[in-house]
Amino acid sequence: MKLYSTTLFLVCSILFFKATAQNDSMALVKGGVYLPLYGASGQTVKVDPFMMDIYPVTNEEYLKFVKENPKWKKSNVISLFADKSYLTKWENDTTYTGLPNAPATNVSWFAAKKYCECQGKRLPKIDEWEFAAMANEKVADARRIESYNQYILSWYETPRTFNNPIGESYKNYYGIYDLHGLVWEWTQDFNTVLITGESRKDGDKNPNLFCGSAAIGASDLMNYAAFMRYAFRGSMKARYSSQNLGFRCVKDIEI
């Protein structure tokens, strides 16, 4: 019995420190109401408060994960969960290329999801990600500010930013870095984006349901930058990975 309680104490205290450490690397996004690019007929969406990783997951952190969870090593991962491009630039199961603090990329949705679960976290929903990413250094919603959009668009034109270390882009209103300027990021519900080609094949009465409405329904036609993100998400499959696609995790607020 004494053994049990000692164990319990040990486990709990380690967990406590772990949880505290996690919160240090996360920032609070207060939540609120926003009008997404693809709202349901222009409806605003309510985003509940959540904690978000300040930085994307790095090579070094991902290496730790695959060491602890060998089934996610490059040579072990099953093809249902990751295609051949998974960790493609890694020299072997435990050697990444590039900087330790560069974002981990070439990771499939399944792998990213599992990583977050193993940290007691989850992937952000599109609305959560987009909500946090509306911020510039000063304000929570900078989408109408020219310099904000210019920053994103000039990043899109800059090649190979995925090789850069984390934390070199701006620190946003919430204290979060790299939502723009480094890599694109997985979201939990990336497959809610219905602007893929397949909808065109439907002999439905309302062929514009998905496809046509993608262009017309954009809440803000000026918002080309966000359109690119949605289009990219719509083109991905869960086992795909890409060198310019990384991820970060979020956590619900514990009440």
Partner 1 sequence: MCKGYRNLEFDMINKLKYFLIALSFVAISCNNSAKKDSTTSEDTSMETSETAKISDMSIYNLPSHWTTQDGEEIELKELQGKVLAMVMIYTSCQAACPRLVADMRNIEKQIPESKKDNVQYVFVSIDPETDTPERLTAFAKENQMEDDKWLFLRGTEEDTREFAAVLAVNYKQISPIDFSHSNIISVFNQGGELIHQQEGLGVNNKETVQAIIDLAK
Q: Which stretches of the chain bind partner 1, using CB under 8 A?
A: 3-4, 6-8, 10-11, 14-15, 18, 40-41, 68-71, 76, 78-81, 109-110, 113-114, 117-121, 188-189, 191-194, 196, 198-199, 201-206, 209-210, 234, 237-238
Strand bridging mode 50-53 / 45-47 = unpaired
**CB 190 to partner 1: min, Å:** 8
| Least Å from the CB of residue 67 to partner 1 | 9
Is the CB of 89 or the CB of 200 nearer to partner 1? 200
Smallest gap from Cβ 111 to partner 1, in A, equals 11
What does the chain look like in DSSP terms, one character per residue?
-HHHHHHHHHHHHHHHHHHHHHHHTEEEE--EEE--TT-GGG--EEE--EEEESSPPBHHHHHHHHHHSGGGSTTT--TTT--TTTTTT-SBTTB--S-TTSBP-S--HHHHHHHHHHTT-BPPPHHHHHHHHT--SS-S--TT-HHHHHHHHHHHTSTTGGGSPTT-S-B-TTS-B-TTTT-EE--TTGGG---SGGGGG---S-TTTTHHHHHHT-S-TT-HHHHHHHHHHHH--TT---TTEE---EEEPP-
Q: How far is the CB of 103 from partner 1 (least distance, A)?
A: 21
Q: How far is the CB of 201 from partner 1 (least distance, A)?
A: 4
Residue closer to partner 1 (CB basis): 68 or 146 = 68
Residue 180 or residue 233: which is nearer to partner 1 going by CB? 233
**Quick one: 14 or 145, whose CB is closer to partner 1?**
14
Q: Which is nearer to partner 1, 138 or 237 (CB)?
A: 237
Least Å from the CB of residue 22 to partner 1? 10
Return the number of the residue (81 or 170) whose C-beta is nearest partner 1.
81
